[in-house]
Structure 1
Amino acid sequence: MAEAHQAVAFQFTVTPEGIDLQLSHQALTEIYLSGLRSWKKKLIRLKNGVITGVYPASPSSWLFVVIAILATMYMRSDPSMGLIAKIQDQSLSAQCQTVVSAVLFSTLLWFSLIFTMRMCLKQLLSYHHWMFEQRGKMSNTTKVWVALVRIFSGRQPLLYSYQGSLPNQPVPAVKDTVKRYLESVRPLMTPDEFERMTSLATQFESSLGNRLQWYLKLKALWASNYVSDWWEEYIYLRGRSPIMVNSNYYGMDFLYVTPTPIQAARAGNTLHAFLMYRRKLNREELKPVSSTTSTVIPLCAAQCERMFNTTRTPGEETDTVQHWQDSDYVAVYHRGRYFRLRMYSSSRPLSPREIESQLQRILDDPSPPSLGEEKLGALTAGDRIPWAKARKEYFSLGVNKRSLDCIEKAAFFVTLDDDEQGMMGEDPAASLDRYAKSLLHGKCYDRWFDKSFSVVIYKNGKIGLNAEHSWADAPVVCLWKLGYNEEGHCKGEVDASLPRPQRLSWDITPECQEQISQSLAVAQALADDVDFHVFSFRDFGKGRIKKCRISPDAYIQLALQLAYYRDRGMFCLTYEASMTRLFREGRTETVRSCSNESCAFIKALEGGEGVEVCRRLLRQASEKHQNLYKHAMTGAGIDRHLFCLYVVSKYLGVDSPFLKEVLSEPWHLSTSQTPVQQVELFDMVNHPEYISCGGGFGPVADDGYGVSYIIMGENMMNFHISCKHSCPQTSSHKYGGQIRQALLDMLQLLCPDQREPSRTDQSQTKKDL
């Protein structure tokens, strides 16, 4: 292939006169500049490693300590109390002995101060009482704490500066976890069932629980986080079912705006934005992530490390997550062909216009896919064991290995989709449902589901993400609005000498094609079974809810439970994801949203109790939910502790009827709030059109619902609902209608003067119901 020859640095031929050596100066220059870029990155990492390693002090503070010690010695004072004299080297002159020993002592003193400051900051960040205080009423203790955190936090921290100062996630007491668990399941069980479960729990707490807890505390002393590595391995990587739908999640584009209808142009700006984000990430130029409730409290940024250049590699027993330090290209899929697109020319990144030009070359390429290439991606969508065996048998040697390595080591994966998606057409609601399903699973072979994330660019300029879940939870990815010219193309010029994107080659045997077909059949059946509904609720938003003096998240959670009760006539175990990134390497914890208080409120409302009674119970349920959420964030949750106790029991080879039953309970309602990442990028008050519809995920239980929601601005909430067609008791549209009605009914209860819903909302609710 022509593009392959351009990468050769030299050529030679043997002639009767000897060897004729022909050097390619362009290729040699490319090699030199590429190496120079690599060394620059290594030096930046080294510099950032030094700055982060001495944080909250700065490298320049070492010189200040040395000068201060030398100054005190010049004034004939010994701040070391005799230590300087003891470390003097007799082989040097007297003056050199004094200077060298003073520098050594100063260095030791400097490291001691750094260690002390870091330990103080770690202890300060272990204080979480501020989270349980009433909003707007900060205690004097918390005020002093905030001031001390600011003092010990240093100045201008890098992205990972706080990592060494974050506290370890605490291990709750067994009795506290068991007590909270029994409280969470009380409204879901009959008296006989609850009595039996209480007996199992009491027996576990008094016998096996203490033994398992001892091992868990030992791990907590040794490991950075006693949960995260087991959670990643046993919940994600050891799963043998397809990760498509079951694990991967998606994120949508702007809801109302498509910056350009030109596919290659939108892709050019998008890919360049990701490239610039990765550059800032590698240089640690991004601000440390802070808690949404306070700009003082840092959150763990460890998940950012594996955002790019990462893939999930299948294995027969367990998968592995592989991460490479750098990658200067992306893998692109279009009409059944795979391409390698370099994102750098010499040592500089390609401009958006240049990326657009390269992608347009791919779009204009008329070559057909090779035999078996078109649906190759289905291997990543099907069951993991067949994919692991096929990878070992058909992709471990030769051209297949080289092409597979190219995809897996790419910065990320890109799909140039031939479909048009987004809110469009005569039925915008249905188009959003199709948009969600397309991002979640596509055609089951046109995404590479193993990559950390795949960027999907549709024919009409809409974009979206499909992300693999094991390496991180809902990554923070910022996309800059880079702009387009009047024709809708990216701004800038194009270097005409850029080599064409490299087409990847494959040699797919008939046996491998058969395995691809089998994996595609499994994935297609799973995708066809997904019932998805996406809708925007615009009657009111968090602004109106806050005026009623209630938490927006608690309000929505109660509405979801009320809607489920009306839909199914029963309560269910409800999962809400909460982050634990206040701790080092923290990921998530479960908030068991269905509580005694929430059930009491719903029963009273549906039973026709008086308005005042229902309103009081609603507020009690809201306060209970907030308390559960705060406990989960501060390491006092239930499920991660029970999960780790169960893992320890398996390692020890002992059975626990209590843990076995707890871990087998199905989550019929799995929910998650998508954080808003656009607040600093767009003025949502003056430009409300620049809002995302958020993202979603597939159903967790075969007979349950998966609900993702995002609170946009003050007057809008978007919901993503998934379930399975194969379950006759579930319907995403019907449940969506119940959610709409529950939101309106609860506001009417809290604020009777709230206006009636619009005719559009009423008709949509009746249609869904």
Structure 2
Amino acid sequence: MLQRCTNHVPTVCRRNYSTDKRHSFAVEVHSVRVRLRKFLNIRLHLSKHQAVAFQFTITAEGIDLQLSHEALRQVYLSGLRSWKKRIVRLKNNVITGVYPASLSSWLFVVIAILATMYMRSDPSMGLIAKIQDLLPTSSSLSPQCRTVVSAVLFSTLLWLSLIFTMKLCLKQLLSYHRWMFEQHGNVSTTTKIWVMLVRIFSGRQPLLYSYQGSLPNLPVPAVKDTIKRYLESVRPLTTDSEFERMMTLARDFELSLGNRLQWYLKLKALWASNYVSDWWEEYIYLRGRGPIMVNSNYYGMDFMFVTPTPIQAARAGNTLHALLLYRRKLNKEELKPSRIPGTFIPLCAAQCERLFNTTRTPGVETDTVMHWNDSEHVAVYHRGRYFRLWLYQAGRLLTPREIEQQIQRILDDKSAPAPGEEKLAALTAGERIPWAQARKEFFSSGVNKRSLDCIEKAAFFVTLEDEEQGMMGDDPAASMDRYAKSLLHGKWFDKSFTVVLYKNGKNGLNAEHSWADAPIVSHMWEYVLTMDSFQMGYNQEGHCKGDVNLSLPHPQRLSWNIPSQCQERVLQSLSVAQALADDVKFHVFAFRDFGKGSIKKIRMSPDAFIQLALQLAFYRDRGMFCLTYEASMTRLFREGRTETVRSCSSESCAFVKAFQSGEAVDVCRRLLRNAAEKHQMLYRLAMTGAGIDRHLFCLYVVSKYLGVLSEPWRLSTSQTPFQQVELFDLVNHPDYITCGGGFGPVADDGYGVSYSIIGENIISFHVSSKRSCAQTDCHRFGMQIRKALLDLLQLMTDDKRDAPRSEHNHSAKKEL
């Protein structure tokens, strides 16, 4: 405003200066001063009783500037919080850097060295004397002081050498993975010694990132091993002639191009922390030019049977406060390092670094992931409008009740969206190139840039929906499907994650996939749900606990100036996103007939059991086998992400064919166990860096050379594990179980299946398909999954003989 007025002064002056009358000019200047004085008497109000924070007035004598103590206090406390975070981050970096040793161990080493010198012994074998000779001479230092300084320097070097040695030893120990392939209850002597050594070198009370420097690098598998396992995986999906051709191509590739490319990968593995992850993030996620809605983003749900409060603003208050508490723990590294369930083996935590304050920005050729160290606000969407909600005041985090109050103010705001604002988020849901071009053309300056920066630099994104979701109504199954579909479609897809809050108090989230994988978001969401219900809670009226603070400034409405050309781009992206959204179907259900407890009784891996049930269900549904994707993690290695387990194997196909043809019970049981053992072996190989697909991906040209990686993943599956079982008391609170989450189908003619093993007796499934494909139906496939699970358990527990088994199978065929 000041700039616009001052720019106007010369225009007025030039207009009157042409008269060449000085008196007239002086009068005009005086008039301008009067108008400016009236126009620029600006007062900005803050906090309680609308006290003046600062004011400035332009007078004939100059600018009169006044600052209030409250404004200075706000600035001081906000800066103090920022500096505290920097100091904590620096302290944690030091503690993590010296782990598995501790800072106190340095003092112990120094005292030990000084004590031995006091006893007329030289533990340094002359090194302390050499260090003393290298010290600059000074009259202020006596010979005794020079000796002490030399001893302290030697002790420090010795301490750092010990730390380096301990880290190296721990890294070598964590590279040992043979324990994973040993049978339960039959542990080798080598593994027992290894366990003891790992415990010795692991130190005590690690921070979240303490193990990062000790995790091994992901190994590069041998080309011949990868090709061998690759041929095994495609054998059940190819004819004899196709497989012969595949073997010839694979042999030629191994002897020629494969070995040359392997040297590049080995060179990168020596230089980089992980030879896969950066390429995987860039080429699989960021270079994709199609919509990330449905195709990449995924979602997570609220409790299945319980809604802690029906008040939308109250649920938002607890949810947002819990998220910020989790971020505080993350920044202070107070979260325990993730480990393989039931063991003390650490997992890489590098993906946690970009959980908050992160956004994906579009580009013409490739997107980029932007991360900021801190953010004190969130961006909120409601009824087509965008708001900035500050979550800190005077350096402290707002209480849940204060956040509820602020959210309620947004809900009560009756202002209308600006032209083009209501559907603006469709730009993030459509194709990436149009969004990149629109961002550069319409959002690179002015008010649009400021508002977009507010969204992108927010801690996360919040959507307040006017609709109700969850398990409700006369058809709870259909309501759960609508709930899943609503979460997958989300609103602003570029933020690291978006929290969605519905009118009836239900919540959920939608997460962008490039920066991290689902277990990272799932870990955070488990914490939020339990804090919300069991730690914070609500009062009898359903509101957040605490007092209302009416002195808080209202949330800031973001301003937009969206021209008609940009509105046309928005509508084009909206049409693409709407067509994609309408094409996706969901089926969400909880399988409650049995769970992992019954599966363990037949001495079988629950994951292998479910994967084989999916193979049987798909064969019954489509009458064929398909390339199957199951996500496995490689976080045993530094910066590890995922690897593919090709669940469709020769062993699983042999079992399905035998089971469907009515073979003897004993034969089917033996084939089922063989298939389960094969699946567990494939899963362990993937976890220990001996998978197939990431190595083939990094060889880069293998897909074109062999012509097989273009085969679609018609069955894409993933398990969402519960990582903090201790937070959920399913015995005393059996209804407080989450639905897990899901994702869209990878192939147009395939299924996406996400499942969660909940407690001992429940398995939840999220099945997706596309309406445009007449061959797939998620509800039909869901029925096949239920039937396959029951059939497999009956096979392993029923004592019926061959004739009844065969009769049952034929009746099942007739039914299908």
| TM-score, structure 2 normalization | 0.90
Is 1:747 the equivalent of 2:793?
yes
Counterpart residue number, 2:34: none
Query: Which SS does the other structure have where 1:376 is aligned?
Result: coil
User: Comparing both structures, which one devotes a greater share of its residues to helix?
Assistant: 2
Is 1:436 the equivalent of 2:480?
no
Tell me, in whole angstroms, the C-alpha distance in 2 between the residues paired with 1:190 and 1:587.
Answer: 33
Is 1:126 the equivalent of 2:175?
yes
Counterpart residue number, 2:611: 557
Counterpart residue number, 1:167: 216
Counterpart residue number, 1:402: 450
Is 1:356 the equivalent of 2:374?
no
Query: Contact 2:317–2:544 at 8 Å: present in 1 too?
Result: yes
Is 1:282 the equivalent of 2:326?
no
Query: Which SS does the other structure have where 1:562 is aligned?
Result: helix
CA spacing shift, 1:547–1:3, aligned 2, 3 Å: farther
Q: For 1:340, which of 361, 368, 388 is the aligned residue?
A: 388
Q: Deviations over 1:325-348 (max 9, x none)?
A: 000010000000000000011111
Is 1:450 the equivalent of 2:473?
no
Is 1:22 the equivalent of 2:76?
no
Counterpart residue number, 2:22: none
Query: Which SS does the other structure have where 1:578 is aligned?
Result: strand
Alignment of 1:685-724 (within 5 A): 685-724=731-770
Which amino acid is 1:723 matched to? S
Counterpart residue number, 2:350: 302
Question: Following TM superposition, by how much is the alpha carbon of 1:86 offset from its aligned partner in structure 2, in angstroms?
Answer: 0.8
Counterpart residue number, 1:498: 552
Which amino acid is 1:554 matched to? A
Query: Contact 2:249–2:706 at 8 Å: present in 1 too?
Result: no
Question: Following TM superposition, by how much is the alpha carbon of 1:25 offset from its aligned partner in structure 2, in angstroms?
Answer: 2.6
Counterpart residue number, 2:288: 239
Q: For 2:236, which of 174, 187, 192 is the aligned residue?
A: 187
Is 1:734 the equivalent of 2:780?
yes
Alignment of 1:197-236 (within 5 A): 197-236=246-285
Between structure 1 and structure 2, the one with the greater Rg is 2
Counterpart residue number, 1:12: 56
Is 1:271 the equivalent of 2:290?
no
CA spacing shift, 1:190–1:25, aligned 2, 3 Å: same
Question: Following TM superposition, by how much is the alpha carbon of 1:22 offset from its aligned partner in structure 2, in angstroms?
Answer: 2.2
Query: Contact 1:200–1:657 at 8 Å: present in 2 too?
Result: no
Query: Which SS does the other structure have where 1:527 is aligned?
Result: helix
Tell me, in whole angstroms, the C-alpha distance in 2 between the residues paired with 1:657 and 1:347.
Answer: 53
Tell me, in whole angstroms, the C-alpha distance in 1 between the residues paired with 2:121 and 2:721.
Answer: 57
Query: Contact 2:484–2:588 at 8 Å: present in 1 too?
Result: yes
Gaps of 5+ in 2: 2-41, 801-811
CA spacing shift, 1:258–1:569, aligned 2, 3 Å: same
Question: Following TM superposition, by how much is the alpha carbon of 1:16 offset from its aligned partner in structure 2, in angstroms?
Answer: 4.1
Question: Following TM superposition, by how much is the alpha carbon of 1:678 offset from its aligned partner in structure 2, in angstroms?
Answer: 4.9
Question: Following TM superposition, by how much is the alpha carbon of 1:3 offset from its aligned partner in structure 2, in angstroms?
Answer: 11
Which amino acid is 2:88 matched to? I
Q: For 2:586, which of 532, 551, 569 is the aligned residue?
A: 532
Query: Contact 1:272–1:351 at 8 Å: present in 2 too?
Result: yes
CA spacing shift, 1:18–1:233, aligned 2, 3 Å: closer
Tell me, in whole angstroms, the C-alpha distance in 1 between the residues paired with 2:506 and 2:600.
Answer: 33
Question: Following TM superposition, by how much is the alpha carbon of 1:84 offset from its aligned partner in structure 2, in angstroms?
Answer: 0.8
Counterpart residue number, 1:54: 98
Query: Contact 1:244–1:440 at 8 Å: present in 2 too?
Result: yes
Question: Following TM superposition, by how much is the alpha carbon of 1:15 offset from its aligned partner in structure 2, in angstroms?
Answer: 2.6
Tell me, in whole angstroms, the C-alpha distance in 1 between the residues paired with 2:729 and 2:43.
Answer: 45
CA spacing shift, 1:657–1:507, aligned 2, 3 Å: closer
Question: Following TM superposition, by how much is the alpha carbon of 1:207 offset from its aligned partner in structure 2, in angstroms?
Answer: 0.8
Counterpart residue number, 2:684: 630
Query: Contact 2:463–2:499 at 8 Å: present in 1 too?
Result: yes
Query: Contact 1:90–1:97 at 8 Å: present in 2 too?
Result: no
Query: Contact 1:197–1:658 at 8 Å: present in 2 too?
Result: no
Q: How big is the alpha-carbon RMSD for the aligned residues of Structure 1 and Structure 2?
A: 1.7
Question: Following TM superposition, by how much is the alpha carbon of 1:26 offset from its aligned partner in structure 2, in angstroms?
Answer: 2.1
Question: Following TM superposition, by how much is the alpha carbon of 1:436 offset from its aligned partner in structure 2, in angstroms?
Answer: 0.4
Question: Following TM superposition, by how much is the alpha carbon of 1:665 offset from its aligned partner in structure 2, in angstroms?
Answer: 1.6
Which amino acid is 2:114 matched to? L
Query: Contact 1:200–1:658 at 8 Å: present in 2 too?
Result: no
Tell me, in whole angstroms, the C-alpha distance in 2 between the residues paired with 1:39 and 1:631.
Answer: 45
Question: Following TM superposition, by how much is the alpha carbon of 1:5 offset from its aligned partner in structure 2, in angstroms?
Answer: 5.5
Query: Contact 2:469–2:502 at 8 Å: present in 1 too?
Result: yes
Counterpart residue number, 2:38: none
Which amino acid is 2:151 matched to? A
Q: Deviations over 1:164-185 (max 9, x none)?
A: 0000000000000000000000
Tell me, in whole angstroms, the C-alpha distance in 1 between the residues paired with 2:347 and 2:100.
Answer: 16
Which amino acid is 1:136 matched to? G
Query: Contact 1:315–1:384 at 8 Å: present in 2 too?
Result: yes
Q: For 1:460, which of 496, 501, 504 is the aligned residue?
A: 504
Query: Contact 1:3–1:500 at 8 Å: present in 2 too?
Result: no
Aligned pairs, number: 745
CA spacing shift, 1:404–1:178, aligned 2, 3 Å: same
Tell me, in whole angstroms, the C-alpha distance in 2 between the residues paired with 1:504 and 1:72.
Answer: 68
CA spacing shift, 1:659–1:69, aligned 2, 3 Å: farther
Counterpart residue number, 1:644: 698
Tell me, in whole angstroms, the C-alpha distance in 2 between the residues paired with 1:504 and 1:90.
Answer: 62
Is 1:662 the equivalent of 2:711?
no
Which amino acid is 1:673 matched to? Q
Query: Which SS does the other structure have where 2:746 is aligned?
Result: coil
Query: Which SS does the other structure have where 2:109 is aligned?
Result: helix
Is 1:586 the equivalent of 2:635?
no
Counterpart residue number, 1:87: 131
Tell me, in whole angstroms, the C-alpha distance in 2 between the residues paired with 1:433 and 1:705.
Answer: 15
Gaps of 5+ in 1: 650-655, 755-764
Q: Deviations over 1:218-257 (max 9, x none)?
A: 0000000000000000000000000000000000000000
Query: Which SS does the other structure have where 2:725 is aligned?
Result: coil
Counterpart residue number, 2:108: 64
Query: Contact 1:554–1:626 at 8 Å: present in 2 too?
Result: yes
Counterpart residue number, 1:379: 427
CA spacing shift, 1:485–1:657, aligned 2, 3 Å: closer
Which amino acid is 1:38 matched to? S
Which amino acid is 1:286 matched to? L
Q: Which moved more, 1:399-408 or 1:134-143?
A: 134-143
Query: Contact 2:584–2:771 at 8 Å: present in 1 too?
Result: yes
Counterpart residue number, 1:615: 669
Query: Contact 1:290–1:299 at 8 Å: present in 2 too?
Result: yes
Query: Which SS does the other structure have where 1:603 is aligned?
Result: helix
Tell me, in whole angstroms, the C-alpha distance in 2 between the residues paired with 1:502 and 1:753.
Answer: 69
| TM-score, structure 1 normalization | 0.95
Query: Which SS does the other structure have where 1:13 is aligned?
Result: strand
Q: Deviations over 1:365-409 (max 9, x none)?
A: 010111110010000000000000000000000000000000000
Counterpart residue number, 1:113: 162
Query: Contact 2:631–2:718 at 8 Å: present in 1 too?
Result: yes
Which amino acid is 2:578 matched to? Q
Tell me, in whole angstroms, the C-alpha distance in 2 between the residues paired with 1:472 and 1:589.
Answer: 14
Tell me, in whole angstroms, the C-alpha distance in 1 between the residues paired with 2:541 and 2:284.
Answer: 48
Tell me, in whole angstroms, the C-alpha distance in 1 between the residues paired with 2:732 and 2:136.
Answer: 73
Question: Following TM superposition, by how much is the alpha carbon of 1:504 offset from its aligned partner in structure 2, in angstroms?
Answer: 0.2
Tell me, in whole angstroms, the C-alpha distance in 2 between the residues paired with 1:96 and 1:352.
Answer: 57
Query: Which SS does the other structure have where 1:99 is aligned?
Result: helix
Q: Deviations over 1:570-610 (max 9, x none)?
A: 00000000000000000000000000100000000011110
Which amino acid is 1:497 matched to? S
Q: Deviations over 1:57-111 (max 9, x none)?
A: 1111111111111111111111111111111126143112211111111111000
Tell me, in whole angstroms, the C-alpha distance in 2 between the residues paired with 1:44 and 1:382.
Answer: 40
CA spacing shift, 1:121–1:725, aligned 2, 3 Å: same
Tell me, in whole angstroms, the C-alpha distance in 1 between the residues paired with 2:267 and 2:43.
Answer: 56
